[in-house]
Amino acid sequence: MRGEPADVVASTAQALQVLCDDGVVLAAQLWRGGPVRSVVVINPATGVLARYYHRYAAFLASRGHDVITYDYRGIGGSRPAALRGCGYRGSDWGTLDFAAILDEAERLAQGRPIMVVGHSIGGFIPGLAPRMDRCAAMLTVGAQFAYWRDYARWARLSHCLKWHVAMPAITALLGYFPGRRIGWLEDLPAGVAFEWAFRRARMERSLPRAERAEIIRRLAAFQGPLLAVTTSDDPFGTPAAIERGLSYYAGARRSLAVIEPADIGCEHVGHFDLFHSRHRDTFWLSSARWLESGGRCWDIGIIRPVTGHSLTKGNTHAPWS
């Protein structure tokens, strides 16, 4: 995973422990802004530590947002003593982990808007939580649920062999996925790795049948603005993959923004790079303005509505301001 050290900013965050309904405790961090405009929750990608987003969180806090970052169960500071046999599933990250973080955000918000920035799977799972309707807006980056046919054609074979053949085979052998040891992101619980590896065109088919209808209902219940951002060279977050995920958010006002690397002065961006501080004056600033405008202002790349909802450049009036 590409990244940069977060030690410069880590000391400015307040450590939190957030209790989930099933008793699992999550390691989280609170970045205080002031005067507070909103509370922003940052959801990581699969196998990515919360600290990868700390510089971005500090940037949002500097603009007056309280920001929560956290590690999903099984990852980083939320890792149990043993991953083997822990029983964690990927869907738990939405139904239990994000749900608990959302409760904490609501406590902190005290009536101010709650917004979500989600990276990769972190931009899909918010809708798995009960009461996602408490969120005012959501911005996602490369958000999809890893259906292999949606990968970029030039990367499809290598990613299929890596994530859908090698990963489940190694996981079945060891009882967890040793991602850190082999240089493929962080270690993952078996249930998380298997859900990723075996997802179908319909996400809910990787879940127990009894859970499916309720999950579909929750995803469709969010009615706020949802901007899905990707880059043209993201092998995971292709427009097809993102639109597949967006189709579940049927009640949201959905738009898709595709950024060419040249739009932000780069030759390559890919799936991870937008959260690097080199994009402070481009993606970081534009994403902050979008959040602050109530989902009405975006100024990078090609923007198009997904279901008739469009964004306009330069409109900075938020519906809650």
Q: Which of the 8 DSSP states describes residue 67?
A: E
Task: Report cis status (omega within 30 of 0) of the bond before 225.
Answer: no
The kind and range of the H/E element at 105 are helix 99-109
* Angstrom distance (rounded) from CA 169 to CA 166: 5
Q: Which domain range does residue 271 map to?
A: 7-146+216-305
43 is a domain residue: yes
pLDDT digits (tens, 9 = 90+) for 20-32: 999 999 999 999 9
State how far the alpha carbon of 171 is from the alpha carbons of 44, 178, 192, in Å: 22, 8, 10
Q: What is the pLDDT of residue 285?
A: 97
List, for the chain, all residue ranges whose pLDDT scores fall below the cut of 70: 1-11, 307-321
- The CATH code of the domain that includes 248 is 3.40.50.1820
171 is a domain residue: no
74 is a domain residue: yes
180 is a domain residue: no
Q: How many domains does the chain have?
A: 1
Structure-block tokens of residue 273: 């790079």
pLDDT digits (tens, 9 = 90+) for 283-316: 999 999 999 998 888 988 888 888 633 333 433 3
* Angstrom distance (rounded) from CA 237 to CA 160: 15
Q: What is the pLDDT of residue 62?
A: 96
Terminal Cα distance for the chain, rounded: 38
Strand pairing class (114-119; 135-141): parallel
26 is a domain residue: yes
156 is a domain residue: no
* Angstrom distance (rounded) from CA 269 to CA 263: 11
Q: What is the pLDDT of residue 175?
A: 98
290 is a domain residue: yes
The kind and range of the H/E element at 302 are strand 302-305
183 is a domain residue: no
Q: Are 97 and 73 in contact (CB under 8 A)?
A: yes
* Angstrom distance (rounded) from CA 163 to CA 188: 12
